[in-house]
Each structure stands twice: as C-alpha cells, then as structure tokens.
Structure 1
Amino acid sequence: MTAPRKHHHRRNEEAPMQFGIFSVGDVTPDPTNGRDPSEHERIKAMVAIALKAEEVGLDVFATGEHHNPPFVPSSPTTMLGFIAARTEKLILSTATTLITTNDPVKIAEDYAMLQHLADGRVDLMMGRGNTGPVYPWFGQDIRQGINLAKENYALLRRLWREDVVDWEGRFRTPLQGFTSTPRPLDGTPPFVWHGSIRSPEIAEQAAYYGDGFFHNNIFWPTDHTRRMVQLYRRRYAHHGHGRPEEAIVGLGGQVFMRKNSQDAVREFRPYFDNAPVYGHGPSLEEFTEQTPLTVGSPQQVIERTLSFREFVGDYQRQLFLMDHAGLPLKTVLEQLDILGEEVVPVLRKEFAIGRPADVPDAPTHETLRARGEVSAA
C-alpha cells in the first residue's frame, strides 16, 4: 500500500524536502560604504525577506532568537505572527528558540498561539544559543545549560500533550493542575527540531523523543557534520522510532551567487572579510573549502548542496543563511530570486531522484495531524 506515496505530496506545504532561509538578524555595517542600518530597518528587512521567500516559492522562513546587540530578533513569535498575517503557504520557524533561558510554560503558550494564528504553519527549533551572558540575564546558570535544556523540554512536551499537568523539577516552581492555553491546534503540537552544532547530548535528546535534528553546520567541516548526524540517526533507531534512515534531519548552509562565479567572489569578499561571525580569520577560499559556504554560480551552489546527501543521507530540510554580514536588502532580495528561480527547482528534482520510498517527507502540520488521527484510531 505504499505505491501512491510519491504522487500526493506535490503541494508547496507537503513535499519530500523543504527549502528555505534562516536569519540571525544581525545589524552589521555595510563594509563597502560604512552604512550602518538602524534596528528598525533591519527588522523591516527581515519581514521583506520572509515575504520574498514565499513569493519565490521557498517553503520555510526561520528567525533566530537573540537578546543582545548587534542582533534584533528578541521576540520570534511577534515577528512570525506579523509575517503569518501577510503570507499563505510559508512555514514559519525559529532558527533557535532558547529552551534554556525561556520559561517552558511561556514557550508552550506563545507557540500554540502562533500556531492558531498561522493555521498550523509553525514549527520551532530548540537550542541553547551561542551567547553565554544570556543565562544570568534570565536568571539561569550557564553551567546548567544541558540540564536546563533537558528539563525544560520535557516539561514543554507535557504541556502540549496533557490537558492538566502536575510537575516538579529543579529549575522552576512546581505546577499543580496547570493547563497551558491555548491548546495546540487540532490537538497537534508544533513539530520540534533540536538545533545543535557541537553537543552530542542534544542529538541524543532529539533521538530520544523522535524529534527532528537540525545540524546548523555553517562553520563546521563535513566530517563533524557526518558524525553528529550519524549519532542522531543511530540513537533514533535505538530508541525505537524507526530505522536510522527514517530519522528527520535538517541542515544549514550559506550561499552567495552571481551568474559569473568570479563576480560572486569579488562582490562577497569584503562582506566575508569584515563579518562579525567569521571576518578577520581564515580566507574566503579556506572557509569555502572547509565549510558549506558556497560563493559562486547557481550551478556551483546546486552541486555543493546536492553533495550534502553523500555524508548525511536523504534528509528533510535545507535552510540557507543569506541576509548577514551587512549585505544590503536589495542584494539579499536578488539572491532570493536566484535561489527560488534557478537553484531550488533543480534541487527539488535532483534530491527526489533515488530517494527511497520509506524516507519520511518533511513534517508539516497536516502530516502530523494525519499521523495522530491514525494512531488514535
């Protein structure tokens, strides 16, 4: 009874793979002219980028969560709710929801509310972030980072799956007869990815619950990515959720494209050289060789992205970082046109070739809800 599988997932919101973009929301001066955008400009630019993502046929827009300059996205659900009102198909996600320093009760409420407003077009990526001082700002101890991630997520799952929760833990006050409102849309909680670059404990957490694992591999060499994803797949099977190939995997990436690869390198180099995240370190050429950063023609981006499958297997979500390092909004929108028109259609077609029938499609609210109805029947 698996034969029809390949023929009923062609709508934008249901597909074997999802392609999209994520933004870290950095406010960075343009190194080519010194122009420093305001926070207001940057926030509005992120919205424009999300709308463009839907326009060019991408599946996902994801925002980071930061609580310190030079970043602006401190309130992901506010931004995503605003974008939800102006889009129809785009899946709205986070590139990090800080499971360590946010109260899990507030996460449960905020994202369930967003889920209702967006008619289910919501999932989220749990992470610990990359800013140590955020822990004391929110009354937590960074030395408990992994323990906070484990305890808070275990509570969050219960809040979304049980109507009345009695709970006691180490890091927050107990709950007695508590009901998180609103309840998840259709009784189906948002899909959760666990985002990690370096922590095996987070890969294990994703595997334990049968959730997705997003390896945001933008700064890491291939062999590290392979090890982390293989660990997650192995442990996913160990915990009884299915075969390793059935685990749900997402990857990050960075690209800058022009029709001519030399033009792409020439235009992007000053941004790379001065970027807060990787400027003043390895050369653009070294970084491109060692990480997924691809600066060149659309064909080079296609070939490089297709190669990811060689070391992680068939996977479900590919997100690209495109609006960083001070790139002007006009340039980012041009990049999205190229991505949507020339790159993603080819990637969809090529990734579908040879994809085994038992590899799960990318999760959506509709597929999760259907799966829940089947299991409850």
Structure 2
Amino acid sequence: MQFGIFSVGDVTTDPTNGRTPSEAERIKAMLRIALKADEVGLDVFATGEHHNPPFVPSSPTTMLGYVAARTERLQLSTATTLITTNDPVKIAEDFAMLQHVADGRVDVMMGRGNTGPVYPWFGQDIRQGIPLALENYHLLHRLWREDVVDWEGRFRTPLQSFTATPRPLDGVPPFVWHGSIRSPEIAEQAAYYGDGFFHNNIFWPAEHTKRMVDLYRRRFEHYGHGSADQAIVGLGGQVFMRKNSQDAVSEFRPYFDHAPVYGGGPTLEEFTEQTPLTVGSPQQVIDRTLRFRADFGDYQRQLFLMDHAGLPLKTVLEQLDLLGEEVVPVLREEFAKQRPSHVPDAPTHAALLAQQQEQQEEGVSR
C-alpha cells in the first residue's frame, strides 16, 4: 500500500490575513512540501497540471525532475497529465526522460482535467474530450512499447517510422493510472489495458465512487488481467488535523468557507459527512481512511490533498508531520493485516522490470 500526497498548485489568498502568495512562493512551497513528504516517510508525491490562474504547475516534469534530484526513495507522479491537450509524443518523451533522471521512480496519471478553456488553448475541441483521451492514450501506449511507430488517427498528423527518445528505462514504460471522477469510458480504458484506475473522490459520496471502482474491477477481470480484487485502484482524500478535533475544525473553517472550490456550498459539517474530507484528530483520519477499504475493497494507493485553500506553508508542513508520524504508520499496519496475499502491491519500476524478465524467461523456456 502506497501513501502520499498530491497538490493542485492553487494560488489562493489566506482568508485569515488576506495575504496571497506570489507564483514563485507557491512553486517553492510545492517543492518544499514534496521534500517534506520524503522526509516524513511518505511514498508518493504527485503534482497536478494546469495552464490557467490561479494554478501554477504547468510543467509537471520540470517540477518532478527537481524533486528527483533531491530525493532517493520518493515515487514521483502526477495528479493529472492532460492526455487530451498534450501531444502523446511529448508525453512519451518527457516521462521517459524523467524515468532516467529518477532511476525509475516515476509513474503518471492520465486525465482530462477540470478546466474547459484549456482545450482551445491547445487547439482542441472539448466536445471531443473522450475520443481524444482514448485515441491519444492508444498512441502513447504504442510509443512506449514499439521502437518504430507508424500512426494515423483523427486528432494529430500521421507518424511515419517514428521513434520516441529516449526509450523507456530498461524497456519498461512508466506505470499508468487513469484518473476519472465521473466517466465510465475512462474506467473501461484503464481496465482494457490492465492499467491502474484512480478515483479522486474528494468531492463525491462513497456510493458514486463505489460504482466507478466496481465497474473498473469487473472490466479488469473481463479483459483477463486477473480477478476483480486484483485490479489496481487508487483513491484521493482530503484531511486537516490537529491533536484536538475541535481545534482542527476551528482552524480549518475559514479556509473551507472562503476557498473557491468550497465557499458558498455545503457547510463544513455537511461536506465532511458527504465526502471523504476529514477534519479532526489523527485518530479520526485513521478511522475514516480505514473505512475506504470496507467501501471500495483492497486498494493500492492513497493520496491526500493537504496544501490547498490558502493554507500557509508552515501549517501544511505541520500537517505532514502528523500524517507521517501518527497516521500513515497505523494505516500501513492495519491495511497490511487485512490484505489477502493474492492482492498485488502498487506497481513500481522494479516490480514491473522483474515481471517483464520473468515473462521473457517463460517465453524462452517454451
């Protein structure tokens, strides 16, 4: 089981003092948060991709390359790589390069994003979002596995005898998670390829998330990749903690009430009841997260959103100390106790390389 954090990289005014960080401050804060995640023993840091204010992470591989150079263990990922508006050729080459820089500590989450205007900015039509996601990933999948590719599709110019460089490290492409919160077509795509499915359920009730995860699991088994409970599932979550739950609620309330993604909607109490947002003590976060297994089955990756809504860097670093020292060790132990032996761990480069070598040896022996 992997535990980590993801950042959407929002630049939001702190409602308690009216201060808005600069873009430079926010970028540096994200880097410090990534290094802190490594320091406190988390497994994964993932950054989003956005091309519009108030967000700053427009170049995830640049940020992750820096983090790779400053860490040795942390798995580097994205909270969304825009498969619809990025050229699959550029994705193939950028993430293969990052693989080499990071000695394989790289995977990637494909998604369509949450900002409609990004499509025309990159010459695409939002009405073609699903077909773009399907066709572009099909090309990307081939670019990482075939040394020479001929290609013709609907949404980009043809390729003739094209080789993406560099080639994936050790001939093993980065593991892919397909992220979606509402599109069954994306769950189907993840199942078809035997890739991972990530449901960032931070705004959704458990019933909706369960329907999406169950669909992916059924189709994963249908395509012959293993039993439904062996499908590779990741989940999102949001937490804010203090030793005392009342202190957590009191401190977080102004950030919740004024955050662009929350303000004016349900109350903090309503939102925590209806979604995975947990505001309280470390034990409450542990109890709530353990319920995810009961709702969605055994899964492989849990990422938390912790640096949003204008929270100052000092506060986020304190949150990470609590997560790493008091929450994740307990979650590791409890999830491990309950996990059946046939349920796989989250894929890593080393595991995928070993699997590839085993398959090659089996082929030779036959």
Runs (4+) off by over 2 Å: none
1:241 pairs with 2:225: yes
Instruction: List aligned pairs for 1:20-35, cutoff 5 A.
Output: 20-35=4-19
Equivalence for 2:93: 109
- CA-to-partner distance for each residue in 1:204-223, whole Å, 9 max, x for gaps? 00000000000000000000
Match of 2:263 among 279, 301, 316: 279
Q: Which residue does the alignment assign to 1:66?
A: 50
Deviation at residue 183 of structure 1 after TM alignment: 0.1
- Tell me what 1:44 maps to: 28
**Cα separation, 2, equivalents of 1:226 and 1:168:** 37
Equivalent in 249, 259, 270 of residue 243 of structure 2 = 259
Q: Which runs of 5+ in 2 are unaligned?
A: 362-366
TM alignment of 1:82-97, pairs within 5 A = 82-97=66-81
Among residues 149, 152, 157, which one is paired with 2:136 in the alignment?
Answer: 152
Whether 2:194 is the aligned partner of 1:210: answer yes
Q: Which residue of 2 is the match for residue 54 of structure 1?
A: 38
Deviations 1:180-228 (A, max 9, x none): 0000000000000000001000000000000000000000000001100
Q: In structure 2, the residue corresponding to 1:204 is in which secondary structure?
A: helix
Structure 1: distance between partners of 2:162 and 2:227: 36
Secondary structure of residue in 1 paired with 2:202? coil
Matched, 1:333 2:317: yes
* CA–CA separation in structure 2 for the residues paired with 1:106 and 1:279: 37
Instruction: Specify the alignment match of 1:5 in structure 2.
Output: none
Distance between the aligned counterparts of 1:96 and 1:54, measured in 2? 20
Please give the alpha-carbon distance, in whole angstroms, between the structure 2 residues aligned to 1:153 and 1:65.
Answer: 17
* 1:354 to partner: Cα distance: 2.3
Root mean square deviation, CA, Å = 0.4
Q: Counterpart of 2:303 in 1: which secondary structure?
A: strand
Q: Distance in 1 between matches of 2:184 and 2:236?
A: 17
1:7 alignment counterpart: none
Matched residue type, 2:137: Y
Q: Aligned equivalents of 2:360 and 2:83: distance in 1?
A: 29
Unaligned runs of 5+ in 1: 1-16
Secondary structure of 1:318 counterpart: strand
Give the counterpart of 1:344 among 328, 344, 350: 328
Q: What CA distance in whole angstroms lies between the structure 1 residues aligned with 2:295 and 2:269?
A: 22
| AA of the residue aligned to 1:215 | H
Q: 1:274-318: CA deviations, max 9, x gaps?
A: 011111110000000000000000000000000000111000000
The one-letter code matched in structure 1 to 2:162 is F
Matched to 1:241, the amino acid is: H
CA distance in 1: counterparts of 2:336 and 2:284, whole angstroms: 19
What does residue 324 of structure 1 align with? 308
State percent identity of aligned pairs.
84
Q: What residue in structure 1 maps to residue 82 of structure 2?
A: 98
In 2, the alpha carbon distance for the partners of 1:207 and 1:266 equals 42
After TM superposition, the structure 1 = structure 2 runs for residues 132-143 of structure 1, keeping only pairs within 5 Å, are: 132-143=116-127
Amino acid in the other structure paired with 1:280: G
- 1:127 aligns with 111
| TM-score for the superposition, normalised by structure 2 | 0.98
Equivalent of 2:294 in 278, 302, 310: 310
1:191 aligns with 2:171: no
Counterpart of 1:8 in structure 2 is none
In structure 1, what is the equivalent of residue 347 of structure 2?
Answer: 363
Q: Which amino acid aligns with 1:240?
A: G
Aligned length: 361
Asked if 1:161 is matched to 2:137, the reply is no
Find the residue that maps to 1:126 and give its secondary structure. strand
Describe the SS at the equivalent of 2:179. strand
2:157 corresponds, among 144, 168, 173, to 173
Distance in 2 between residues matched to 1:134 and 1:362, nearest whole Å: 31
- Residue 371 of structure 1: CA displacement? 0.5
Partner of 1:18: 2
1:222 is aligned to 2:214: no
Aligned match of 1:268: 252
CA distance in 2, matches of 1:121, 1:241: 24
TM-score, normalisation: structure 1 = 0.95
SS at match of 2:279: strand
Question: What whole-Å deviation, never above 9, does each CA across 1:82-121 have from its counterpart, x for those lacking one?
Answer: 1100011000000000000000000000000000000000
* Number of the residue aligned with 2:364: none
Query: Could you say which residue in structure 2 is the equivalent of 1:6?
Result: none
1:231-260 C-alpha deviation (Å, 9 max, x unpaired)? 000000011111000100000000000000
Counterpart of 1:185, as a letter, is L
Q: CA deviation at 1:353?
A: 1.0
